[in-house]
Amino acid sequence: MKTIVIDGVIGDSWDGLSAEQFQKLMPRTGEDIRLLINSPGGSVNVGFEIYNYIKMYSGKVEIIIGSMAASIAGYIAMAVPKEQRKAFKNSSFMMHESWTVAAGRARDMRIVADWLDGINDIISETIADGIGKEKKKVRKMISEDYYIPGWENLLEENIISDIIEYESMKEDEFVYPEKSEFSWSIFGQALETDFEARKKEVNDLDIIMEKDSDKMWREIDKVAALDLSALKKQQPKEQTKTQIQTQETSPAPKADENTTQESNSMNLDEFRNSSPEAEAEFQAALESAKAQERKDANKNTVEILRLEGVTISETAAKALDSAMDVENYALEKLQAEAEKRKNSETQETYEAVFGKITASQTPGEQAAKTEVDMAEYEKGIKEAATKYAKGGR
């Protein structure tokens, strides 16, 4: 007899069995089959769909509970009458309420809660019909994780009708879902696989990434990219004597501008991918170039303002020359002001840098004078700098 195995998590979003994979395993002939369930559960929606496929199947389906049929996997087991449900001696069953992860406003949470209540009603009603109990009682049972271990307890709770002997399944044809397109074995094998074969596996992974936006897959993509980078280092760099002689006797090809640009681009990419240190070096050089560009632009601004007759203080000119951002500039000015206030005999006569400040102290000065932690003082100064940088007074 053909035995379809549900072994693992339910739901493709959990990197588990999808309803499409399960449907492909169902025979088209309508022959009698077995379904061996060994799963911790997973996606409710996918579980509902698999349940429906079993109900629609024209042949007879016998469900065998493996070591565990939990959560939505237990719900799937209810797709056939009790007479067609069996288990091994060490089998277990678990049922509980559905759960989810959600984010949003209070009313969004209420909508999700109502949806979960509806799902729990569906689960309770199906299980109640399957084990011959009242829906109200089952609803109470699933309010907590309700475990039923061992075939005798499963029999007592009407989860199964009988135990199944191992001998009766020895001649079965076991059919498993298709393996994922992505082979997990590619990790950690950079030293065991030839470059081209390894590169193909990683490129196949990139194709999968385009189909799945889940964060987990993006992280896998990053790891695979690093793995490919390690492989590139393994490419043979030494040339044979024949290759060297051929290069010496052959005229150098004339490179047009496009070819040169492409070659430079490829060399840069290879350098960046060669190691994390190389990428860090590239990023540092890029930031340095951007900073120099900003500095040059600021110097031009200073000269233009001077030509227009606008007086710029030496401090402001230096800040522009060094491409200092406005918040740090404001912070330095406030700190200088606080220092001058500290040394001034008459605070009332001091003219504030940022207009007339009527308060006797700048933000953070009070904290410093009352011997509060200097971190609080610095925090006050920085908050004031942020305010002034945005045009506040």
The DSSP code sequence of 342-364 is: HH-S-GGGPPPTTS---SSS-TT
- pLDDT for 257 equals 47
- pLDDT for 323 equals 65
3-state secondary structure of 279: helix
Cβ-contact 339, 329 below 8 angstroms: no
* 2-175 topology per CATH: 2-enoyl-CoA Hydratase; Chain A, domain 1 (3.90.226)
- pLDDT for 199 equals 60
- pLDDT for 185 equals 44
- What is the tens place of the pLDDT at every residue in 197-248? 656 666 665 555 555 545 445 555 555 555 555 555 555 554 544 554 555 4
Q: Characterize the bridge pairing of strands 33-39 and 85-87.
A: unpaired
Tokens representing 69 are 């049929």
- pLDDT for 228 equals 56
- pLDDT for 264 equals 43
Element (H, E) at 7: strand 2-7
Cα angle 223, 226, 227; round to 5? 85
Task: Please identify every stretch of the chain with a pLDDT value under 70, giving residue numbers as ranges.
Answer: 14, 179-272, 274, 306, 308-309, 321-323, 325, 327, 338-382, 384-393
- pLDDT for 376 equals 63
Residue 7 CA to residue 174 CA, distance in Å, equals 11
- By the 10 Å C-beta count (0-12 exposed, 13-18 middle, 19+ buried), 194 is classed as exposed
- By the 10 Å C-beta count (0-12 exposed, 13-18 middle, 19+ buried), 76 is classed as buried
- pLDDT for 392 equals 53
- What is the tens place of the pLDDT at every residue in 328-348? 777 777 777 766 666 654 444
Q: How many CB atoms lie under 10 A from the CB of residue 295?
A: 14
- pLDDT for 79 equals 97
Tokens representing 380 are 């006050």
- pLDDT for 107 equals 93
Distances (CA, A) of 167 to 1, 25, 85, 170, 174: 13, 24, 17, 5, 14
- pLDDT for 33 equals 96
- What is the tens place of the pLDDT at every residue in 257-272? 444 444 444 466 666 6
- pLDDT for 372 equals 43
- pLDDT for 298 equals 72
Residue 158 CA to residue 177 CA, distance in Å, equals 29
- pLDDT for 287 equals 74
CA atoms within 13 A on the CB side of 128: 16
- pLDDT for 265 equals 43
Residue 318 CA to residue 321 CA, distance in Å, equals 5
3-state secondary structure of 164: coil
